[in-house]
Amino acid sequence: MKNYYSLLAALLLGFSGWAQELPEELSKAIDLSRKFPYESVVATTAQTTYRFDKKEGLTATEEQEEVLISLREDYSFSKFASTNNESEIVEAKYFHGKKLSTQRSWGTETCASNLSSTIFDTDQKICEYELPLEDVSTIKKYTITKKYADVKYLTRAWVLEEHPVEEKVLRFEVPEWLEVQFVELNFEQYQVEKNVTEAESGMRIHEYRFKDLPAAYDEGASPGATYYEPHIALVFKSYTNNGAKETLFASINDQYQWYRELVSQVQVDTEPLKPLVAELTAGKTDDAAKIRAIFYWVQDNIRYIAFERGIMGFRPEAPQTVCAKRFGDCKGMANLTKEMLKLAGYDARLAWIGTNHLSPDYNYHFPSLANDNHMICALKIDGKFQFLDATETWVAYGDCAARIQGRSVMIEDGEDYLIETIKEQAASANRREDKMLIQLVDGQLVGAVKSKSFGEEKRYLMQQYDQIRSENKKEAMLQLLENKSVDISVTEHKVKGLENRDEATSFKYKFTVNEPLLKSGREVFINLNFDRDYEAFFIGEEREQAIDLGYNAEIISELTFEVPPNHQLNHVPEGFSYSNAWMFIQVEYEVVGSTLVYTKHITIEKRIIEPEDFEAWNEAMRGLKNMYNQYIIIKNVV
């Protein structure tokens, strides 16, 4: 033990006295360990090389090489590589020993289906390669070569790894017969050198050299990785084969034509749907009622279960099959909605879209399968498009879920296509309106509340409520209403609209405050902030990634406190306000006759709070929190 502490002390002092004796790799490992206390391994160099071939169609290989240094003893490094029907790992090997000259083939320990979601099945498999790193400062190298059977499915080249990388090179060896566009995304925060050289064969070598890359890490509540992780979108436009130019995705139209071809392969038989459509629209004369009936039927009766293996990731299931099975993925549900609406006499079409999980860079600015991850139905009525997404069970006809608002959508239009943008709704569409009356009755605070929720606020409630088992719904509703910053008991309540998409959800309830009054002599201290919206929502200094709030929102609340007879208001807190281009907060107290009216208005127009917004956000939340802490004082004057 004594020996241990002397070594520890020496290390803490930077190995003074014997630092010069340390092998270089050990010294490096010690430095890196202190620099990255959470990490077990760092790549000193990494290179991913892309090569292309046209012998068996246009294929690509991705060769990844990393030299790793271990910061831990007895550490088992895991390299994860994904494959699917269109790609496979063709070689994996690692190197060890002096000068990393001893080569070993590297078998997978495990290879398994991606089970991250039980209702979403794809052909993706995650393979894990394990590499034992025996000691601190052990250095090993590995290479993994992956082959893409069709470059169409090679849509991005990612930069970051799951561990820090001191230097990384992305290298594209582009033959002269291949036309490819590199779209650089999220490079701003990184040190990168770009270099293009031409080899004698006419091959162009595109190299991106990155320095000091952090580990890829999701800090939680972050937007999708395409918002912030550096990567290159790959657009393969054309290649020359036997003297003839083969067009790939040179334009959005090329992408559309490929989708169109897939859709045309679907064997549509609308006969089985006709009785259902007739039944749903019977007796309905106006368009809205008919559309609603069909849209809501699909929402309610087709469960979202996706089997997206191979081409089924892009080609919709036949509508009659989806209807018969009562389940389908987004494409199947969109196609069924479309065909049912067409049977009812409407101009309904398929539409491809990327949800807001994808950054706005993926909005059909360039052709790529990475532009979309979702399909909906576009309904043209009165010369305008309405967008129907039946996978959103609680969305009313006329509304769109936040995840597709503001996104570009590619709509089929015969041989051509249309690009439209789904309107982004203002925060007021997702608002909550509260009115509360607080009285002091027989020495106890009591309250009566009317509250309404709209848009995403309402849908969130409906979704949560729907996920509660019937036998627990009553208790859950009480817990929801009693979720205040003070201890209350709800004495009676009425709820409307939790099962109706077309109206706001409204709550009416009464409660008593369980906490005893806080008194000092004749003075009573009362905190009127029963709902402390956004309380403690401070963003830590260490946070680097943006925060995705899910949707923009508005809260309008008015609380009326009836000053009891024989009492006077002895202290009323100051109000608070804050506003900038995307946030508005106003909290005010106003004495109106024998009442104190406390109003709170919060509008957050942004869904994503960017790192540059953090300071403003925290300043606003600090002010809001200080406001929430304030007590009023009333005094018995008799």
Partner 1 sequence: MKGVITYLLLLCCCPLFGQEKIEALPTIDVSKIDTAALQQNEELRRKRSYEPNFGEFDTANASAVQLLNAQEFEYDYYVEEVSEKKTTKVQVLLKDALAVSKYSEFFFIEGSDESDTGSEVTFAASCSIISRDGSTRAIDLQDRGTNGSTVAVELPGEDVGVKYYKTAIHELKVGDILEYSYVVTSVGNPKQVYFSDLQYESIFEDEPVLYKEIKVVFITKEDQFFLRERGMNNVRGFIHSKEGTKEVYTWSAKNLPAKTEERFESNVGNRPWLKFQVWNPLNTPSERWPFGVGDVGNSKRAVVASSVTEAKGLTMSDVKDVMLSTILTREFVEHEVEVLVRSRKRYPNLMRATAMTKALVFHEVFQEYYFSEVAGPDQDYISDYVYVAVMARLLRRFQHEPYIMLYMDQELGKLSQLCFYGEMSWLIRPDQDVKFYLKPFTRNGRPFNALGELQGTKFFEVCPFLNFSVYNYDDVHDLVNRHSAQQASQNMYHSMKSLTLDLSNQNIAIRDSSYYTGKFASSERYTALPRYSYVPAPRVKGGKKKKLIAAATNALRGERYYYFRSLYYEAQWRESYEVVTYDTLTTWRNYDILNREMSLTETLEISDLLAPAGNHFIFSAGLLVGKYNKLSAQERERMFGISTDYPYTIKNEIRFAVPEGYKVENLEAFIFDVQTNAGHMVTKAEEVDGEVIISYDRAYNFTNLPRTDWPEVMKIMDAAYAFTQQKLILKKV
Please give the structure tokens belonging to residue 255.
């992408």
| Structure token pair of residue 416 | 């051509």
When the beta carbons of 85 and 580 are compared against partner 1, the nearer one is 85
Q: Is residue 383 within the footprint of partner 1 (CB under 8 A)?
A: no
Site for partner 1 in 498-527 (CB under 8 A): 515-516, 518, 520, 525, 527
Q: Where are the alpha helices (DSSP H) in 206-247?
A: none
Collapsing DSSP states into helix, strand and coil, what is residue 307? strand
Decide whether 261 or 300 has the Cβ nearer to partner 1: 300
> Vertex 44, ends 41 and 49: CA angle to 5°?
110
**Min CB(465)–partner 1 separation in Å:** 10
The neighbouring-strand residues paired with 111 are 127
Picking from 225, 54, 261, the residue whose alpha carbon sits closest to that of residue 151 is: 54
Residue 244 or 536 with smaller CB distance to partner 1 = 536
Q: Which of residues 564-583 bind partner 1 (CB under 8 A)?
A: 570-571, 573
Which segment (115-123, 192-200, 221-229, 256-264) binds partner 1 by CB under 8 A? 115-123
- Hey, how many other C-beta atoms are within 10 angstroms of the C-beta on 120? 15
- The set of residues, in sequence order, having a beta carbon less than 8 Å from that of 371 and lying 6+ positions away, is 255, 352, 354, 358, 362, 363, 364, 410
Residue 57 DSSP class: B
CB of 332 to partner 1, least distance (A): 10
CB 142 within 8 A of CB 131: yes
- R_g (Cα) of the chain, nearest Å: 31
Residue 23 sits in the site that holds partner 1 (CB under 8 A): yes
Please choose, from the candidates 332, 373, 323, 333, the residue with its C-alpha nearest in 3D space to the C-alpha of residue 353: 373
* Binding segment toward partner 1, per CB under 8 A, in 70-78, 94-102, 189-197, 450-458: 70-78
Among positions 291-330, residues that touch partner 1 (CB under 8 A) are 303, 305, 307, 309-310, 312, 317-318, 321, 324-327
Residue of 82, 103, 113, 491 that binds partner 1 (CB under 8 A): 113
User: Nearest distance from residue 576's CB to partner 1, in Å?
Assistant: 13
**Does the CA dihedral 614-616-619-624 come out positive or negative?**
negative
Residues 531-560 that bind partner 1 (CB under 8 A): 536, 538
User: Least Å distance between CB 462 and partner 1?
Assistant: 12
CA-based nearest residue to 234, from 194, 179, 271: 179
> CA-CA distance, 499 to 242, in Å (whole number)?
62
Which region among 2-10, 195-203, 407-415, 602-610 touches partner 1 (by CB under 8 A)? 2-10
Using an 8 Å Cβ cutoff, are 339 and 268 in contact? yes
Nearer to partner 1, 455 or 573 (CB): 573
If one counts every other C-beta atom within 10 angstroms of the C-beta of residue 397, the result is 18
- Choosing from 14, 57, 97, 132, the residue that interacts with partner 1 (CB under 8 A) is 132
Contact segment (CB under 8 A) with partner 1 among 15-23, 96-104, 257-265, 414-422 equals 15-23
Q: What distance in Å separates the CA atoms of residue 69 and residue 165, rounded to the nearest whole number?
A: 10
Nearer to partner 1, 202 or 310 (CB): 310
Residue whose CB is less far from partner 1, 28 or 431 = 28
- Residues 418-477 binding partner 1 (CB under 8 A) are 466-471, 473-475
Per-residue contact string for residues 163-182; x = within reach of partner 1 by CB under 8 A: --------------------
Task: Find the shortest distance in angstroms from Cβ 509 to partner 1.
Answer: 16
The size of the interface with partner 1 (CB under 8 A), counted in residues, is 78
| Token pair in block for residue 309 | 């293996």
The site map against partner 1 for 135-154 (x = CB under 8 A) is xxx-----------------
Question: From the CB of 431, what's the least distance to partner 1, in Å?
Answer: 28
DSSP 572-638: ----EEEE-SSEEEEEEEEEETTEEEEEEEEEE--SEE-GGGHHHHHHHHHHHHHHHH--EEEEE--
Binding track over 32-61 against partner 1, x by CB under 8 A = -xx--x------------------------
Q: Does 107 bind partner 1 (CB under 8 A)?
A: no
